Amino acid sequence: MKDQFSQGGRDIKDIWRRIKNRDFSGNTGLVVKNSLYQFSTGLVAKIGALIFTVVIARLLLPELFGLYSLALSTILLFVSISDLGINQSIIRFISKSSSDKRKEKAAAYAYYLSKIKIIFTFLVAFALTILAKFISQNYYQKPIFYALIAGALYVILAGISSIFQSFFHAINNFKVPFFKEIFLQVSRLFLIPLFILISLANFSYEVVSLIMILSLSALFLLTIVFLFFFVRRLDFLNQTPKRLSKKEKKRVNKFTFEMLLLGVAGLIIGYIDIIFLGRFVDPEYIGIYQAALNFAISSIPLINFSTVLFPLFSKISGDRLEKGFNRSSKITLLVSAFVFTATFLLSPLIIKIVYGSAYIEAITLLRILALLSVFLPMSSLFSSYIIAKGYPKLVTNSLIITAGIYFIISYFLITYLLKFGQRYAIIGACIALVMSNFFYMIVLLFKARSLKKA
């Protein structure tokens, strides 16, 4: 372990030297440059999301913040369903084609996968509209019906925005997404709180949630317009697309299906906590849980490194791939350990200053969730490496097993600890989330090591 931290320190010095000298040559330089943009994008997103969460959490207080969080999490579940591996396929196949200087083929992949994505997104949005009443009134039994109806528009706009962003990731252009993120976060911080202040004085909780979701949807529309001005300048999209052969379509569909299975398992891990809590606890406790979780996730900018490394890993192989993976692992472990320690020790101060006394029960939750600052970045790095090596099924199978375990543990801990009070139920949700992510990380670690030896 000592050697790993020592090597990680040397790697960080090398990165700093490259940044200082603006030396972005070679694959290492490409990773450094893209990492700078992606780290900056992640930092802007996380800081913006944290500030936004703090502002609305203080404005809404735990109960209304819990209703908003429940509605948004449910909508994001449908957003994730509308993707299920398509964006990853866009990145993989366009990245490979553009690197081979086959821009016509890259255009063909872009149009083919975008068509699938758009059709599927509209179907998912329609499904959310149909299911909104059952979800809000029968399952959750909470007043979020109008918010879920508005969520159908959110699903469509978020899906289109993600297509554009995937184009840039595929060609290792992280500059445009960086400026898009700045635009989105600044707009959200100014507009949404203003709408909240106006609506709180005039409308019910259900209508306030509706207005917030519509406002977020409008911001996505603005980001689509912003990205469109840059998307139309992409070289491969201005080429006449070559027709994909049946064999090529079969390969694309096969990879997308494997990513779909991966996505389904990821949905369980990503949303089962809020689905169970929405059923079993009051909105106030959902708000407290979401406040702690949002801060824990916002302290993990390294999670975005996998987005940088995936298109690069897809292009290289052999010793270069192994060297890049080893260096990335050491740096990720070093910084993640620091983030965990700081979050764990400063949790009481963080909650009191950031959220206020109304969220004091979130201190224990944040300390538990701080472990995610280690588990999530490492898992993302391992999965990117394994998929780039051409073994997505290994990641899929690992995540499916993890999802099954998480489903069982989460349901058991939430329902069992609920007997002692709703506070203990949300603690159980935190423990289940951390345990499942630890298991997933360990499984991927062993699989990645086995591939290195092969």
Number of other residues whose CB lies within 10 A of the CB of residue 115: 10
Q: Of 53, 19, 55, whose CA–CA distance to 39 is shortest? A: 19
pLDDT of res. 304: 47
Tell me the C-alpha distance between 23 and 10, whole Å. Answer: 17
Residue bearing the bigger pLDDT, 263 or 141: 141
CB contact at 8 A, 279 and 139: yes
Residue 174's closest CA among 366, 40, 341? 40
pLDDT at 428: 97
Q: In this structure, are residues 142 and 74 in contact, taking their beta carbons and an 8 Å threshold?
A: no
Q: Which of 69-78, 107-116, 214-223, 390-399 has the lowest mean pLDDT?
A: 390-399
* Local confidence band at 213 (pLDDT 50, 70, 90 cut-offs): very high
The backbone torsions φ and ψ at residue 29, rounded to the nearest 5 degrees and listed phi first, read -65, -35
Read off the tokens for 63. 């109960």
| 3-state helix/strand/coil string of 317-344 | CHHHHHHHHHHHHHHHHHHHHHHHHHHH
pLDDT band, very low/low/confident/very high, at 65 (cuts 50, 70, 90): very high
Q: 447 is written with which tokens? A: 């699989």
Taking each helix axis from N to C terminus, what angle separates 103-133 and 86-99, rounded to the nearest 10 degrees?
A: 170
pLDDT bin (cut points 50, 70, 90) of residue 411 is very high
Which H or E run includes 117? helix 103-133
Instruction: Kindly calculate the radius of gyration of the chain based on its CA atoms and give it in whole angstroms.
Output: 22
Question: 10 Å Cβ neighbour count for 295?
Answer: 27
Token pair for 41: 């994008």
Residue 138's pLDDT is: 94
- Per-residue pLDDT of 1-58, as tens digits, reads 445 444 444 544 555 555 555 555 555 555 666 667 777 787 788 788 888 989 999 9
pLDDT at site 204 = 80
Contact 271, 73 (CB under 8 A): yes
pLDDT digits (tens, 9 = 90+) for 261-303: 767 777 878 888 999 999 999 999 999 999 999 888 876 755 4
Q: What is the pLDDT of residue 408?
A: 95
- Which helix (H) or strand (E) covers residue 28, if one does? helix 26-83
Please give the helix or strand (H or E) that residue 164 lies within, else none.
helix 145-170
pLDDT for the residue 150 = 95
Could you tell me the residue range of the domain that residue 332 belongs to? Answer: 2-453
What is residue 320's predicted lDDT score, i.e. its pLDDT? Answer: 59
Instruction: Indicate the number of domains in the chain.
Output: 1
